[in-house]
């Protein structure tokens, strides 16, 4: 059990660092989901299942959905979009 | 969906064998897996985007002109000073309140001895909730939870004020909206629709279970409401606004949220009228472990669940489209 705990905590730190260093917003959102899932497992190990359920529903589910919605308001761009913008010289939205 | 399927004279098995051979493609004309590739649509979208950018520039120009007028400038200056003064006043009041609190980690402070012990020892007896967390947040500290639900409601109202799109919008920006929708999300995604059809009922029933069993098992109004809300969002993503608009109208969301909050308020203000001591309450805790036990906790959980689910769904709808 102790090994599992250590692995999960290390995974948390890894995720937290990776979120801030990843360049693409969509990748950051996916890593954030993994972070929340690991955190939910840690809450479960720490015997607080209420928090674990809320973390899984809100952290891994809803907030990630909201972040993915950024695609709609053109904050998530693909490489092709950026090339298009550069060719036209008019950026269509906030970059990442 | 069954109605729209093209009728063929072949049975399922024959269609499958024909699909294996390669004569028949079930997804033809029904599935768009990527954005429409034709050049005309792309040019049209580009044209509409440029139009929108020009409109934005016009608004910026107008705002700049407005800022140059003298009375507006005076008001802006007054507004800044008043904002700083108000922030200082608020900070002072809060710091004054904090100075009256007992010191952090003080052994004789009530939250370090009697309160926690009483929750653990007498919680089941006094609230009737097997899940001690539900007993705490919905009975002993029900007003805190009421405040949290109200914060969610206020947040939803603010998003509504800021992002609401009026009905009489000019048709060109409407066209831009539709075009970009189609560019970013393929319509009739068969995989998404099938998985939504399988998952949405399970998610919704699980959310209702989490809400109703909040006083017996882990979970409660907040997490259950979030689960129901995410199920609704999945349904919306798979089938579009036309399908969800049939049952989740703005009016329904308003009625549900406001009546849930009012019921919560009315149910919890009874302790004011009984002298704030809960002693003469006619609602008994009931048998611990039964579904209809723990006094008001079940009903309060349902209220919180409704508020959270409606808020999450309306946030998503507002950000996606600016209206229901």
Q: ipTM score here? A: 0.71
Long-range residue pairs from A31-36, CB within 8 A, at least 24 positions apart, any chain:
A32/A63, A32/A64, A32/A67, A33/A60, A33/A64, A35/A59, A36/A60, A36/A63, A36/A64
Helix, strand and coil in chain A, % to nearest 5: 75, 0, 25
Model confidence at B83, pLDDT cuts 50, 70, 90, reads very high
Domain-embedded: residue B206: yes
Distance, in Å, from the CA atom of B313 to the CA atom of B324, rounded to the nearest integer, reads: 10
What pLDDT is stored for residue B3 in this prediction?
52
Tokens 């919905």, located at residue: B138
- The phi and psi torsions of B4 (rounded to 5 degrees) equal -80, -10
pLDDT at A2 > cutoff 60: yes
- What pTM did the predictor assign? 0.70
Model confidence at B208, pLDDT cuts 50, 70, 90, reads very high
What number of other Cβ atoms are within 10 A of residue A33's Cβ? 19
What pLDDT is stored for residue A90 in this prediction?
45
Are B223 and A62 in contact (CB < 8 Å)? no
What pLDDT is stored for residue B199 in this prediction?
92
Distance, in Å, from the CA atom of B40 to the CA atom of A11, rounded to the nearest integer, reads: 48
Domain-embedded: residue B168: yes
pLDDT at B242 > cutoff 90: no
C-alpha B175: how far from chain center: 27
Model confidence at B145, pLDDT cuts 50, 70, 90, reads confident
Residues on chain A touching B133 (C-beta within 8 angstroms): 50
Q: What is the mean pLDDT of residues B215-234?
A: 87
Percentage above 70 pLDDT, chain B: 77
Neighbour-count burial for B135-154, b at 16+ CB within 10 Å, e otherwise: bbbbbbebeebbebbeebbe
Average pLDDT, chain B: 78
What pLDDT is stored for residue B35 in this prediction?
54
Domain-embedded: residue B252: yes
Residues on chain B touching A72 (C-beta within 8 angstroms): 180, 184, 319-320
Are B223 and A50 in contact (CB < 8 Å)? yes
What pLDDT is stored for residue B22 in this prediction?
77
DSSP tally for chain A: helices H, then strands E: 5, 0
């Amino acid at each position: 059990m102790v090994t599992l705990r250590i692995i999960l905590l290390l995974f948390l730190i890894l995720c937290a660092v990776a979120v801030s260093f990843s360049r693409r917003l969509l990748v950051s959102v996916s890593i954030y989901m993994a972070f929340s899932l690991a955190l939910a497992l840690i809450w479960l190990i720490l015997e607080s299942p209420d928090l674990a359920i809320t973390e899984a529903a809100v952290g891994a589910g809803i907030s990630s959905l909201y972040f993915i919605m950024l695609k709609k308001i053109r904050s998530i761009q693909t490489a092709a979009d950026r090339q298009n913008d550069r060719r036209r010289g008019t950026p269509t939205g906030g970059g990442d | 969906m069954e109605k729209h399927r093209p009728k063929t004279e072949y049975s399922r098995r024959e269609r499958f064998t024909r699909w294996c051979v390669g004569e028949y493609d079930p997804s033809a004309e029904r599935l768009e897996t990527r954005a429409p590739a034709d050049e005309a649509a792309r040019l049209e979208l580009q044209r509409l985007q440029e139009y929108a950018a020009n409109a934005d520039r016009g608004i910026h120009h107008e705002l700049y002109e407005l800022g140059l007028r003298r009375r507006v400038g005076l008001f802006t200056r007054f507004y800044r000073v008043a904002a700083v003064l108000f922030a200082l006043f608020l900070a002072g009041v809060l710091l004054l309140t904090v100075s009256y609190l007992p010191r952090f980690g003080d052994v004789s402070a009530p939250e370090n001895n009697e309160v926690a012990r009483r929750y653990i020892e007498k919680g089941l007896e006094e609230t009737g909730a097997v899940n001690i967390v539900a007993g705490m947040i919905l009975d002993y500290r029900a007003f805190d939870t009421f405040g949290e639900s109200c914060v969610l409601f206020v947040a939803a109202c603010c998003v509504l004020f800021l992002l609401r799109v009026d009905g009489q919008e000019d048709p060109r920006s409407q066209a831009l909206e539709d075009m970009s929708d189609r560019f970013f999300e393929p319509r009739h995604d068969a995989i998404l629709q099938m998985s939504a059809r399988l998952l949405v009922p399970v998610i919704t029933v699980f959310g209702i279970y989490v809400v109703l069993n909040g006083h017996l098992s882990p979970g409660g109004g907040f997490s259950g409401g979030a689960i129901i809300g995410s199920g609704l969002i999945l349904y919306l993503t798979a089938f579009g606004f036309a399908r969800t608009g049939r049952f989740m109208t703005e009016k329904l969301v308003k009625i549900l949220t406001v009546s849930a909050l009012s019921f919560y308020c009315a149910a919890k203000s009874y302790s004011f009228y009984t002298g704030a001591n809960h002693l003469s309450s006619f609602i008994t805790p009931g048998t611990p472990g039964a579904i209809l036990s723990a006094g008001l906790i079940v009903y309060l959980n349902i209220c919180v669940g409704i508020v959270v689910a409606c808020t999450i769904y309306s946030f998503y709808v507002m950000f996606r489209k600016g209206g229901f």
